[in-house]
Amino acid sequence: MLEVTKAEYIEEYRVQITFNNGASGVVDLKEALWGTMFEKLKDFNTFRKFEVSDVVHTIRWENDSDLAPEYLYEKMVEQGTENTHVAERA
């Protein structure tokens, strides 16, 4: 079962994600934020407040919305960002 083990906010709707299968990369979730549940996440300050849930094993926001790890992985591969690491900011 695919799980998110680590996630870090980068900028705008981009998140650096690491999966339990060893894959990692940057996922741009701008196009994923449609529907009532995700409306509040269109604000960058709200979007950036996520955590990796020990219960659902993916990123989850304060309003209990989440995206399946499989969806995040698929988007990462689709966007061609697998194994893309963003340098830490000073």
CA distance 90 to 80: 26
Residue 24: inside a domain: yes
Q: Indicate whether 90 belongs to any domain.
A: no
Contact 79, 28 (CB under 8 A): yes
Average per-residue pLDDT for the chain: 91
Per the domain annotation, does 84 fall within a domain? no
> How many folded domains does the chain comprise?
1
- CATH code, domain carrying 40: 3.30.2020.10
Q: Does residue 89 lie in a domain region?
A: no
Residue 21 lies in a domain: yes
Q: What is the percentage of the chain residues whose pLDDT exceeds 90?
A: 87
Residue 41: what pLDDT? 95
pLDDT over threshold 50, residue 90: no
| CA–CA dist 20, 78 (Å, integer) | 19
Cβ atoms of 25 and 81 closer than 8 Å: yes
Q: Does residue 88 fall inside a structural domain?
A: no
| Domain annotation covers residue 51 | yes
Q: Is residue 67 part of a domain?
A: yes
User: Domain residues for 56?
Assistant: 4-78
**Span 30-44, pLDDT tens digits:** 999 999 999 999 999
14-31 pLDDT, tens digit each? 999 999 999 999 999 999
Across 4-89, the runs of DSSP E, i.e. the strands, are 4-11, 14-19, 24-28, 50-52, 59-61
